[in-house]
Structure 1
Amino acid sequence: METTVSPSTADREQERDRSLSDRIPRLPVSRLPPVLRTRGAAVAGLLAAAWILPLLAHLLHADLLILAAAGLGTASLLRVGSTLLDRLMITAGLLSGVLIVLGLLFSVWPWGLAPVPVGGTLLSLLVAVGAATGRRPRLPRRVLASDLIVLAAPVLSYRVESGPTAGKSFVKALAYTSSREDSFNHFALFDAARHVGGYPFLHGGASARFVMQGNQYTYPAGSHYLWALFDVFRRSTTTPDASVLAFTRYHQYEMLAMALACMAVVWSARWIAGPAMAGWRRVLICGTVGAMAVYGELSTLDWQGFDAEVLALGLLAVATAILVRPPRDVREQILLIGALMAGISFVYSLFAIFMGVGVLAAIAFYWRRLLRHWILVVVVAVVVLPISYIPFYEAKAHSGISTGPLFLQGGAYWAFSRAASVGFALIALSGLATRAGRRSPAWWVLTAFVAAACAIAVGSEWYGHSRIGQPGYYSSKMVEAAWVVSLCGFGAIGLFLKPAPRTERPRLGTRRLLDLPPAAAALAVALIFTRAVPLVPLDWQWGQPVPSGLTAGAVWQKGLIPSEWAKPTIAYAKALPLGDGVPTATIFSDNGHDNRHLTMFLAVLNGDLGLVDVEGLGGRGIDGLASVKLDPEDQLSDRTGVYLDRLEQWIREQPPGLRMAVSNRLVADALKAFAAQHPELRLAVVVVPRFTG
């Protein structure tokens, strides 16, 4: 007979606790977020290193290494792109957009653009992303032969753009670096960004000294902020140096932006063409696009002073590639497009219109893959769209100018060939004429994007024609953006070109040798077709039609397009102290616009463009003062008296301490007498010999 032993009270409580614990659902460790499974000590160590490395680099004056580390770190965490160059190009686009967005934080926190906190923040974000995603750093090692063409584009572009100024002193280079007032306005925004430590519009009062009235709000400063940030890391200090030195460096950044834009266009054309477009066909595509970008009309944007537009076109080229042929990882596609949308809006707001139609085209054909990640799409849209709207809001709030009237504004510019623009568009649109093109959604997206971009360009030009009888200054920008989008789709021509037949499968080395002759021939055809190799003597003069055998890039590289104000600017630069901090206005020409241009140049070097009313100086009708003479009765004419009265009234409206540099001694004597009558103005008068060359 068995006896049953009743459990004790403690045993019954333990059994009940075990029963309750079994009922609680347990989350498998494998399902925990990677950040919770990562060893805390390792993450803490990486975070510490993320701040120690920038500190050490700063002590060694090697802060640029931190930007390079941030770039390589970002590239190692991405998975888009099967080649090293693809990964780096996409990283450049992503990092540009991210830095532009982070600039909103850097502009308001106490440290400004200081390398250590900025670098530490960037590296810390990389550690957090790596821990949250569980991705280990990894870079592709695959390279392509056509990488040489893509990499040659920025090198040749920089050589073309720097041709006229190479080896010249600061003063002698002014014939090319001061070609347009646009360059002065862009440098003023860059100068303001480096002084206030971020976006000028977030420091409206402090930046007002450096830029023309309201320009800190009405013009997007994304590119100027980026170059100011790069300049801080390059110099390893946030303390601004002399504007004369900064002006030279900013000119280098202008040329670098043009070089990167050319590289982006060539890479985008190769990416959109796809991996199937290999061999000599890929060489033909990259060679033609590269030659058109480096030596064609795109190169004119640099010396015309369209700095922000150039960088925005480079970002637009990268965005076009991602929109047309997206990466496999949908999440990376969404984040890339969001970053590029914000970046382009802050660099050149008008081109956000093209990003909008490009996104719509991508959604129309890739909506199924995007639908699987609709939550991320919504989150990115909720964050990016308000940020992208900030430049539009600032411009309208402080100027009241809407997009429509903007296309009616005039201005001088080198017009892109409309025939070439139509030709590039037709080539990009021709992909659907082939069976292979119709089977690929990429060519459908490209066709929709190019068609929409061309419609925007044509519509903006028509708007100007219908109201002012000619295209507006800003409508030309829309043509240039459509030109870049179309050129990125030049790979469509490869759909009509069949690769060389293969009777047998040769070894890898033999195949490469067999590809060399057709590839070399394709590159030669591209260079001749695009006139990258000049076919006529370089005896062209400014004002004459460009010969059919000469490219715009070749004309500039040989120094045949100097500024019309070059000689008087150089003459005054030799006679006056540059950047000495004294507000200076010049009267050396009977044309008020000439006086305005030189006064503006001296103001940006002084960092006081916002204090000198250069608009009033050029718009008061102060003409004829440079060639004033006495009449037979040793009297100034009544007309000269009117001009002097206008000039004296303008001087009264300026802050005290103005210096007037004039070339006519009679005008100088009149101004000295005026200064003696009004000592409160502290007016200084300097006679500079009149330029007659």
Structure 2
Amino acid sequence: MTDADTATPADPGLRPGRAGGGRGWAAAPVGAAVLLGAPPVLHVLDADLLTLALLWGAAAFQFRSRLTVLDRLVLAAGLLTGWFCLLGVLASVWPWGLRPVALAEATALPLALATLTVNRHRVLRLRLPVRPPLGDWLLVLTVAAAGWFSLRPLLAVGVTGRLAALYQGEDLARHFALYDSVLRFGGYLTFHRAQAAVPLEEGFQSYPQGSHLTLAVLTEFARNGDVPTEAATALGTFVLLAAGVLTAFVGAVVWAARRAAGPALGGWAVLPLCVAVGGYLVLAEGTPLLLVGFESELFGLALLALLTAVVCRPVGRTGEQLLLLGALTVGVSFSYYLLLAVAGPLLLLWAVVHRRRRPRMPARTAAAAVVTGAAAVLPVLANWKQANSAEALVIPGGVLPVGRHLLLPLLALTVLGLLTAPARRNPVRRAALGAVAVAGAVAVAVMRYQVATTGKTSYYYEKLLHPVFVVTLIALGAAVVPVAGALVPRQATGRRRSPWPVQAGWAVLTAAALFLTLVLNAKPDRGGPSAADVYRHGLRAAPASALLVTTVAASRPVPDPRIGVLLVDPHGGEDPRAAEGNLWLGVLARDNGLSWRAWLWGRRHRSAQEIVDFADASPVPMRVYLDDPVLAADTVALAGPGRLAELDVALIRYDPRGRPVVVAPFGGTPPALE
């Protein structure tokens, strides 16, 4: 099956104007004026989200390569994400912070310059209605299904229900604290260390914050610059955005796999690939990353998927290719710089595999490499103490293991498909095979280092298996093309095309068989329900603990001079002490930088003497929430009047419906003890 072309077919809904025509010069100033004038006007109308959509569309239609509408929108999203990650550095020091008008004008300016210079002769006339290819519609439907899966459990509930769904994702609490702080302080927290010292645990001011800044920018545009002042409101928004990141991740990998497949896989043949890739992520490996709270890694993996796609199948123009590679690499670094271990070799892979097709532009390529490297190294330098330590690679951590029973067959199938003679003659498939080799080699290198150092594998080895399955799923798109002969359109092979009902029937049957196979094999290696079932049925949800946390958080004064510590007994089949109750309480109070030690200390039952001793050693006053009147009385008696200024005791009771109620006044003795 022939698939030598590295570009996708031209967008059927776009018609380029004639170069040098007068209309190009007339349209360019108008387009530039609209881009620069729209942000303040739409801000006055409380429609900043329309400004973001305008900038996205303008970036999408700046490409001169032959791309479909969907390709343009996806690549423009990746381009703008990298741009906003880098623009956040400037936004962190200028006086406007993340205000929508300032960000929009800073983004509109380079787009307007491109319209006036690079694309001044190019007039795009839309032919209505725009008719994307069938494969694009199937891809959009796949992403919509993933969005329905990830958002449905969260849309019909309030803040407490959303917290309950992801309550046990410890890392998600810290990611919320980062997002909330970036939103409130207006930029990267590396530039706001003093302000972030209270809401963030020490060391997290320099954590890679590209995803948090991008989500904060989306929040700013969606809310017209009206930043939520209450932490609970911000938490409700953030949980929805985190589920949206999972959807975007699935969409990015599915789109990348389809791009790796290329024009030889079109029409109904796209459906089985979308179901295989999207189903693998939703049912097996993508959803666990949301459940454990790896929001920033999901964000970085989505950008890595786009980078892999354009490495395997570049866009038609070298300048645009360099711009995309640079922006996506910067986005990966700012979001989760561990993935640079894979992204960096992928850039070299592109330069080697596609060297013949790429025009000789050494000066431009060298300049792009220098600028990209300088920008991508910024998050690494900000966190240099940990990034420069090899010992960080062997630290322990909580991570759900990748299912080997699915990953190994996927790897074998993909590699065998890419080792066939037709694949070896095709630069796209050679690049796909090289991408799998790069991701696998990085994971194996870390595995060998961990085994040599500690005798076993740990956290970061499992983390580096995530880019392995992402890159392998993308390479699968290139590997399956030879076996899709019956479904390939006539224009790709020259053969007679089957009637569309036959194509649709075979595609639906194949997709159903693949989906059923994934459903039956999606359980973890060690057994138990699949991650999709866990999320969909709320098997890891903690409604009683989430209700306790939000109730206590709502009862506290703002700001609260005391840190809060939950020391309550299990209720409703849940134990807030052993779960993440005090961590969530700290991030909702925006004092996690002061209360994180109390979170670790309060994970088990404590006696009155232990409570008093910990309060004596605490550098800040604290309030303990107890549901045992006897323990509360003993603690107050042991503390005595002289210590109550540093140690406050609050009592929690439950009403007849089992809802917690804080019954003690702050700064006083619980009524039951008076």
TM bucket by the smaller chain? 0.7 to 0.9
Partner of 2:192: 203
Q: Aligned letter for 2:649?
A: V
CA distance in 1 between partners of 2:54 and 2:214 (Å): 17
Partner of 2:588: 605
Indicate conservation of the 8 Å contact 2:490/2:497, yes or no.
no
Q: Which moved more, 1:365-374 or 1:497-506?
A: 497-506
Partner of 1:570: 547
Indicate conservation of the 8 Å contact 1:54/1:116, yes or no.
yes
Per-residue deviation, 1:378: 1.2
Per-residue deviation, 1:103: 1.2
Counterparts of residues 148-297 of structure 1 (less than 5 Å): 148-217=137-206, 219-297=207-285
Partner of 1:588: 568
Match of 1:676 among 641, 646, 650: 641
Q: Aligned letter for 1:648?
A: A
Partner of 1:650: 617
**1:319-342 Cα deviation digits (max 9, x unpaired):** 110001111111111110011110
SS in 1 for 2:117: helix
Q: Which moved more, 1:462-471 or 1:522-531?
A: 462-471
Match of 1:494 among 469, 481, 491: 481
CA distance in 2 between partners of 1:47 and 1:280 (Å): 40
Per-residue deviation, 1:156: 1.9
Q: Cα–Cα, structure 1 residues 413 and 605, in superposed 2: closer, same or farther, change >3 Å?
A: same
Q: Cα–Cα, structure 1 residues 374 and 318, in superposed 2: closer, same or farther, change >3 Å?
A: same
Counterparts of residues 431-446 of structure 1 (less than 5 Å): 431-446=417-432
1:411 matched to 2:397: yes
Q: Aligned letter for 1:113?
A: L
Q: Cα–Cα, structure 1 residues 146 and 139, in superposed 2: closer, same or farther, change >3 Å?
A: farther
**1:420-456 Cα deviation digits (max 9, x unpaired):** 2222222332244323212211111111110121121
Per-residue deviation, 1:88: 1.1
1:555 matched to 2:544: no
Per-residue deviation, 1:419: 3.0
Matched pairs, number: 624
Partner of 2:317: 329
Partner of 1:615: 597
1:457 matched to 2:443: yes
CA distance in 2 between partners of 1:356 and 1:609 (Å): 35
Partner of 2:296: 308
Q: Cα–Cα, structure 1 residues 503 and 260, in superposed 2: closer, same or farther, change >3 Å?
A: closer
Partner of 1:366: 354
**1:235-267 Cα deviation digits (max 9, x unpaired):** 112544211011000001001110011011111
Q: Cα–Cα, structure 1 residues 155 and 502, in superposed 2: closer, same or farther, change >3 Å?
A: closer
Per-residue deviation, 1:48: 4.7
Q: Cα–Cα, structure 1 residues 501 and 125, in superposed 2: closer, same or farther, change >3 Å?
A: closer
CA distance in 2 between partners of 1:253 and 1:675 (Å): 47
CA distance in 1 between partners of 2:640 and 2:35 (Å): 59
CA distance in 2 between partners of 1:163 and 1:409 (Å): 35
CA distance in 2 between partners of 1:679 and 1:516 (Å): 73
Q: Cα–Cα, structure 1 residues 571 and 426, in superposed 2: closer, same or farther, change >3 Å?
A: same
Q: Cα–Cα, structure 1 residues 308 and 109, in superposed 2: closer, same or farther, change >3 Å?
A: same
Per-residue deviation, 1:46: 5.2
Give the alignment's TM-score, normalised by structure 2: 0.85
Per-residue deviation, 1:347: 0.3
1:384 matched to 2:372: yes
Per-residue deviation, 1:368: 3.6
CA distance in 1 between partners of 2:546 and 2:131 (Å): 51
Indicate conservation of the 8 Å contact 1:291/1:530, yes or no.
yes
Q: Cα–Cα, structure 1 residues 622 and 307, in superposed 2: closer, same or farther, change >3 Å?
A: closer
Per-residue deviation, 1:76: 0.8
1:144 matched to 2:133: yes
Per-residue deviation, 1:487: 0.6
Partner of 2:626: 662
Per-residue deviation, 1:511: 4.0
CA distance in 1 between partners of 2:123 and 2:229 (Å): 38
SS in 2 for 1:688: strand
CA distance in 1 between partners of 2:537 and 2:645 (Å): 50
Q: Cα–Cα, structure 1 residues 210 and 520, in superposed 2: closer, same or farther, change >3 Å?
A: same
CA distance in 1 between partners of 2:603 and 2:588 (Å): 24
Indicate conservation of the 8 Å contact 1:160/1:556, yes or no.
no
CA distance in 1 between partners of 2:600 and 2:158 (Å): 29
Q: Which moved more, 1:402-411 or 1:339-348?
A: 402-411
Q: Aligned letter for 1:615?
A: R
Q: Aligned letter for 1:100?
A: C
Q: Which moved more, 1:670-679 or 1:121-130?
A: 670-679
CA distance in 1 between partners of 2:65 and 2:502 (Å): 31
Indicate conservation of the 8 Å contact 1:82/1:142, yes or no.
no
Indicate conservation of the 8 Å contact 2:553/2:585, yes or no.
no
Q: Cα–Cα, structure 1 residues 543 and 351, in superposed 2: closer, same or farther, change >3 Å?
A: closer
Q: Aligned letter for 1:496?
A: V
Match of 1:57 among 42, 45, 50: 42
Q: Aligned letter for 1:336?
A: L
**1:523-579 Cα deviation digits (max 9, x unpaired):** 222222222xx799xxx9x998236xxx4213321222224xx53342353455256
Q: Which moved more, 1:332-341 or 1:577-586?
A: 577-586
SS in 1 for 2:624: strand
Q: Aligned letter for 1:122?
A: T
CA distance in 1 between partners of 2:326 and 2:63 (Å): 15
Give the number of the structure whose alpha-carbon radius of gyration is greater: 1
CA distance in 2 between partners of 1:80 and 1:168 (Å): 44
CA distance in 2 between partners of 1:330 and 1:562 (Å): 49
Per-residue deviation, 1:284: 2.1
Per-residue deviation, 1:502: 9.9
> What is the CA RMSD across the aligned residues, in angstroms?
3.3
Partner of 1:320: 308
Q: Which moved more, 1:103-112 or 1:468-477?
A: 468-477
Structure 1 residue runs without a partner (length 5+): 1-32, 629-639
Per-residue deviation, 1:510: 7.7
CA distance in 2 between partners of 1:45 and 1:501 (Å): 43
Per-residue deviation, 1:101: 1.1
Per-residue deviation, 1:96: 0.8
CA distance in 1 between partners of 2:555 and 2:319 (Å): 52
Percent of aligned pairs with the same amino acid: 26
Q: Cα–Cα, structure 1 residues 280 and 154, in superposed 2: closer, same or farther, change >3 Å?
A: closer
CA distance in 2 between partners of 1:501 and 1:309 (Å): 35
Partner of 1:22: none
CA distance in 2 between partners of 1:323 and 1:372 (Å): 17
SS in 1 for 2:625: strand
CA distance in 1 between partners of 2:486 and 2:599 (Å): 64
Q: Cα–Cα, structure 1 residues 149 and 664, in superposed 2: closer, same or farther, change >3 Å?
A: same
SS in 1 for 2:371: helix
CA distance in 2 between partners of 1:137 and 1:112 (Å): 35
Partner of 1:105: 90
Q: Aligned letter for 2:568?
A: F
CA distance in 1 between partners of 2:555 and 2:335 (Å): 30
Per-residue deviation, 1:161: 2.3
Q: Cα–Cα, structure 1 residues 127 and 262, in superposed 2: closer, same or farther, change >3 Å?
A: same
Indicate conservation of the 8 Å contact 1:429/1:446, yes or no.
no
CA distance in 2 between partners of 1:408 and 1:401 (Å): 13
